[in-house]
Chain A
Amino acid sequence: AQKITQTQPGMFVQEKEAVTLDCTYDTSDQSYGLFWYKQPSSGEMIFLIYQGSYDEQNATEGRYSLNFQKARKSANLVISASQLGDSAMYFCAMREPSGVSSGSARQLTFGSGTQLTVLP
């Protein structure tokens, strides 16, 4: 079963409007972290926002906010006041505790991404 599911391969939004990118996850752990990354056409991966499973408040970073619904296992990214420069691929990722060893890296598991296009 996929651990991270992003059901929207592509999204369009009008400039200055808000957009929500969906992410659902699957884990049996109580402690985990959720991340969103942006990948513009230039290819680099840019960290946007983080939400911990025990955080009671939704994370916010400037125009980015994370709509965290733990019971539904969803961690949607909300971008307010979209800008043309927001056009990019967006990846949701999860870090879980690893049961292999205490020295393990708690790897990130990525979704397949959502391509966001902001229209002028």
Chain B
Amino acid sequence: NAGVTQTPKFRVLKTGQSMTLLCAQDMNHEYMYWYRQDPGMGLRLIHYSVGEGTTAKGEVPDGYNVSRLKKQNFLLGLESAAPSQTSVYFCASSRTQAGGFTDTQYFGPGTRLTVL
């Protein structure tokens, strides 16, 4: 049982280049999330998805796009990378639980992205 996996683990981009981060989960979770973590800060939500084919903006969505074509995968795209997007990116997933707050988010190992 792999849980949440992320590809790649590390990446270096030049300003203006594009790339896609892949998140995959094998827990049949409905909800998936992309966060970024900057030094000295907690995680901030970029985009999220409440189910296959749906996506929504989080706290810091600018410069990113996402897609959820399959339930188990959640893609994060950077169309034109900027140095401000240098960060560690975490994907997470959780199951739904109507009316409750106990649906724990399980995180992937992170992707360290550097934009030069």
Interface set of A (CB-CB < 8 Å, partner B): 4, 31-33, 35, 37, 42-47, 50, 52-53, 91, 93, 95, 97, 103-113
Contact = CB atoms under 8 A, between A and B. Distances in A.
A104 B33 CA distance: 12
B2 interface: no
Interface of B: 31, 33, 40-45, 48-50, 54, 56, 58-59, 88, 90, 92, 100-102, 104-110, 112
Nearest to B40: A112
B50 A103 contact: yes
A33 B101 contact: yes
Contact of A110 (B44, B54, B102, B112): B44
A27 B102 CA distance: 17
A106 to B, nearest CB: 7
B109 A33 contact: no
A97 B27 CA distance: 24
Contacts of B106: 47
A107 B34 CA distance: 11
A91 B109 contact: no
| Residue of B90, B101, B104 most packed against chain A (CB within 10 A) | B101
A44 B109 contact: yes
A52 B56 contact: no
A35 B54 CA distance: 26
| Residue of A45, A105, A109 most packed against chain B (CB within 10 A) | A105
A95 B101 contact: yes
Contacts of A95: 101
Nearest to A107: B45
